[in-house]
Structure formats: structure tokens, C-alpha cells
Amino acid sequence: MASLAEIAHELYALPPGDFTAARNASAVEAADRELADAVRALRKPAPAAWVVNLLAREEADRLDALLALGPELRAAQDSGDRAEFTRLGRERREATNALVETGSRLAAKHDRAVARSVLDLVAETLQAATIDPAAAEAVRAGVLVKPFTSVGFEPVDLTDAVALESSGAAPRVAARPKLRVVKDPDAELKRARKEAAEAVRDAEEDAAEAEDAAGKLAAQARSAEQQRAELKTELEDLETELESTRAALARAEKQLHTLDRERGTAERAADRARLALERARTRQSDLE
């Protein structure tokens, strides 16, 4: 008989688009009403959370190596060892970037391409997990619901970020009250209404994620537009400079042509002068 933790572990390995149907099917197959309600209460993971969950399952050793840098970074900061802190920060950044690219490839293996904005959230989550030990454990658990971020070395806000929290050996649904069984002749109708409400909640979460991604893309578009305008201005300046250089080149070539012509005239005059000199010398010699 599968426990809530086992069911959740399987569900959060699925792409977000497959989550709701699989969760509802698992709830139907649950051993009792209490477990079924707990399964239905599991929230669909955001795309970035799903990628982190994939890394927790398929790249656990590399993920542990990254998270192990957290205590070293805190120690370097506390001791004021700036060189060591800089070195560890660079190592963390490189390890994070490598894991993010691996996460992108893992998602592609599940036929799910993820946007760069999603991968940026993955990177923020991994870096935050090196700051806060509780965040590190949340990432290791592989049941993230949403990504999170950090501010300096402050504790990470993990509110509603994890589907299950450990409480001794028995996991529980994070920040959700235990639902009681209500004996009601209209139970099926109530269940259908609950599932519809959960579907609306999932849709709202998807819409919020899409809006957030759209906002980031709009900011990137504005930045790109500004960069394009700057490059256009730079190009116009270069074109103006090029025209000026071409004009200067034309003047130089014209001057060179004039000088070549004057040089030819001077060389011919010099030849005539030498010839006259030779004739004068010959006449002088004859008179002597």
C-alpha cells in the first residue's frame, strides 16, 4: 500500500502538464478517504520546481556537491576571508550553471522544453539552497511546488514551496490542515466541486506563472530594444565617420595625383637642366 510520501515522490517526477490527471487518478486509487483527500491537496509544481525535482532525482550527487558549498561560503563570510569567499562564489556559480543546463537536458528527455526564464528561476532556487540549510533540504526532497530565491544570507522563505515536510519518519502535507471525512449523500457532487476548484487553482497558478514569464520577457524585450537603439546610434556614428574618412581619402588621392603630376614636371625640368649643364660644360671644355 503506497504512502502519501511515495505517491508524492512519483507525482512530482511528472511534467507539470501531466500532474493534475495523475494526481486525481492516484486519489481515486488511494486506500482510504483520508489519504485520497491528502493526495488531492497536493499542488501542481511550477515548471522551475519540476526541473529542480528532476535534478534531485537524477543528479543527486552533483546537487549535493553544490549544496555542500553553502556551509563553506558562510564560513568564509563569517571569517572575512574575501579571497576564499570569491573563489567559492565562482565555484558555486559554475556548478549552478552546469546543473541548470543539465536540468534543461533532463526536461528535454521528458519531451518538455523549458524557457530561459524558467531556467533562470532554477538557478535562483539552487543558489538560494546553498544559503539556507532548510532550503537545501527542501531541494533534496524532490517535491518542490514552486521555486524560491534568497536575499544575501537571510533565511529563505519556504512558505508553500514544498509539497511534503518531514515530521520525524512520517511526512505530512505542508501548511495544510488535515481534512476530515464527511458522510454526506451528496459526497460525489462535493468531490466533483472540489476537483473543479482544484482545477481552477491550478489554472490560476499557471496563469500567474505565465504572467510572470511574460513580464520577464517584456523586460528582456525592452532591454533588447534599448540595446538596438544604442547600436543603431553607434552604427550611424560609424557611418558618418566612414563618410568623413572616405571624403578625406578622396582628397588625399586627389592631392597625391597632383603631386605625382608636379613631380613628373619637376623631373622633366631637372632632366632639361642636366642636359643644359652638360652642354655648357662641353662648350667650356672646347673653349679651353
Residues 194-244 have pLDDT tens digits of 666 666 666 666 666 666 656 666 666 676 677 777 787 778 777 777 777
Burial of 270 (0-12, 13-18, 19+ CB in 10 A): exposed
* Cα–chain center distance at 148: 14
The percentage of the chain sitting over the pLDDT mark of 70, rounded to a whole number, equals 79
For the chain, give the longest Cα–Cα distance: 151
| Among 83-92, 129-138, 165-174, 192-201, the least confident range | 165-174
Q: What per-residue confidence (pLDDT) applies to 191?
A: 61
Residue 270 pLDDT class (50, 70, 90 cuts): confident
The cell 524558467 sits on which residue? 118
The helix (H) or strand (E) run that includes residue 166 is strand 164-167
Q: What per-residue confidence (pLDDT) applies to 188?
A: 59
Sign of CA dihedral 109, 110, 114, 120: negative
Residue 92 pLDDT class (50, 70, 90 cuts): very high
- Highest mean pLDDT pick, 43-52, 161-170, 188-197: 43-52
Average pLDDT over the chain reads 82
Q: What per-residue confidence (pLDDT) applies to 168?
A: 30
Q: What per-residue confidence (pLDDT) applies to 170?
A: 33
Mean per-residue pLDDT for 71-100? 92
Q: Distance (Å, rounded) from C-alpha 26 to C-alpha 28? A: 5
* Pick from 107, 110, 109, 156: nearest CA to 130: 156
The residue length of the chain stands at: 288
Assessment of whether the complete model's pTM goes beyond 0.85 = no
Q: What per-residue confidence (pLDDT) applies to 178?
A: 39
Q: Is 45 helix (H, G, I), strand (E, B) or coil?
A: coil
Structure confidence by residue, pLDDT tens digits, 170-196: 333 333 333 444 455 566 566 666 666
Q: What per-residue confidence (pLDDT) applies to 280?
A: 87
Structure confidence by residue, pLDDT tens digits, 139-158: 999 999 999 998 877 888 99
Mean per-residue pLDDT for 51-66? 94
